[in-house]
Homo-oligomer: A and B are copies of this chain.
């Protein structure tokens, strides 16, 4: 069954030690969907400007991503210009954020979307995430991602929203920032007490930890020998993770474990190329091949 993902669809200018790329298709929802489409029928809710290349729209459609919730508005598409330095490929340095049409975005979704039960709120202002959630008739399983910016500037909104979601995915730095805890396990406990019953803490090249009520589990990252561009790795993880859950319509521990493994494998492809260079061409066959390798890597 189809599910909905809200987030940014952006044009990215990225510089990494491997090179410079301009006007790449990017954004939290775009990366999320490029990964989630491998598992389930995913509909994107977001906004782009009239300047958004038709090429990118056609590309997303061709990949099976439903764009009926994508608003095309007068104005300019959201742009992110950032850089990763050799010393710390885990941390993006933002040079410019041009909100453009994102500044006044109010989600416009269809009746089909309103009836969907599974919704993922990829990184975006918490007020917009909450707005979209309020449009959903009977949400059954809602996932939430966020970023340091919102923890710093919209904490009240974020905390209110956290009470309404089932799952929260965030990275370890954000988890520590949000809770004031310095220990990942302790931070996850505090976050669970704030609302979401499942908390996923992404640790970039160090893998992922997942915390539920009566269980916790963790996996290392798939070992990538050369990171080309980490942009969107977290969204790609979330797309694989939530896409798998949405398809399964289950959130028991076993399903969550499988979902985390798929998220990890998808994220490993993401960092090996610029933008969606490595994730867009993927088939499930290639994903499952790496999953097998990864399984051998982690086996006891």
Contact = CB atoms under 8 A, between A and B. Distances in A.
Given A203-B206, A257-B299, A257-B300, A185 B216 contact: no
Given A206-B203, A258-B300, A298-B300, A185 B218 contact: no
A299 B295 CA distance: 10
Contacts of A261: 300
A100 interface: no
A261 B295 CA distance: 16
A225 interface: yes
Given A206-B203, A207-B206, A219 B298 contact: yes
Copies of this chain per assembly: 2
- Majority secondary structure, A binding face: mixed
Contact of A182 (B89, B206, B216, B224): B89
B182 A225 contact: no
Given A182-B86, A300-B257, A220 B218 contact: yes
A227 interface: yes
Given A87-B182, A258-B300, 8 more contacts: A183-B225, A183-B226, A206-B207, A207-B220, A209-B220, A217-B298, A220-B220, A298-B298
